[in-house]
Amino acid sequence: MARDRSPAELVGAAPEDPFEISFDGRTLTALPGQSVAAALWSAGILAWRTTRHGGRARGAFCGIGQCYDCLATINDRPNRRACLVPARPGDTITTQEGHGHAGLAV
C-alpha cells in the first residue's frame, strides 16, 4: 500500500549517505543538499548567533538569505549566512558572538 512508503520511496529517490559536521564541538549528522541552517535545525539547534548589543540569541528567520539573522562562523569564517551555505563533510560551525570579528584585526 502506498501509505506504507516514504516520500523518497514513492519518487524513487536514492539519497546519498549522511555525513558529520560539528557545532561548538558537538558532532552532528547532516544530509547531502542541506544548508548549514537546515542541518542545525535538524539537530534541534535553533540559535547560533548572539546580537552585538544585549547578546540576544538568533538563528534562522527568513531562511532565504535576506535578513542576516542566521549569521554563523563556518570553518573560521565569520558572518556566513547559514541558510545559504551548503553543509559539507567536516564543516566546523561555531556560535558567532556579535559582529563576528572578535578574533580578527579589524
Q: What gap in Å lies between CA 73 and CA 92, rounded to an integer?
A: 8
Q: Tell me, what's the pLDDT at 82?
A: 95
Judged against a pLDDT cut of 50, whether residue 15 lies above it is answered with yes
Q: What is the pTM of this model?
A: 0.79
The mean pLDDT of 71-78, rounded to a whole number, is: 94
**The CATH fold of domain 16-97:** Ubiquitin-like (UB roll) (3.10.20)
The mean pLDDT of 54-82, rounded to a whole number, is: 89
Domain residue ranges of the chain, discontinuous segments joined by +: 16-97
The single-letter DSSP state of residue 15 is P
Q: Tell me, what's the pLDDT at 77?
A: 94
Rg for the chain, CA atoms, rounded = 16
Judged against a pLDDT cut of 90, whether residue 90 lies above it is answered with yes
Average pLDDT, the chain: 86
Query: Residue 41 is placed in which grid cell?
Result: 535545525
Judged against a pLDDT cut of 90, whether residue 50 lies above it is answered with no
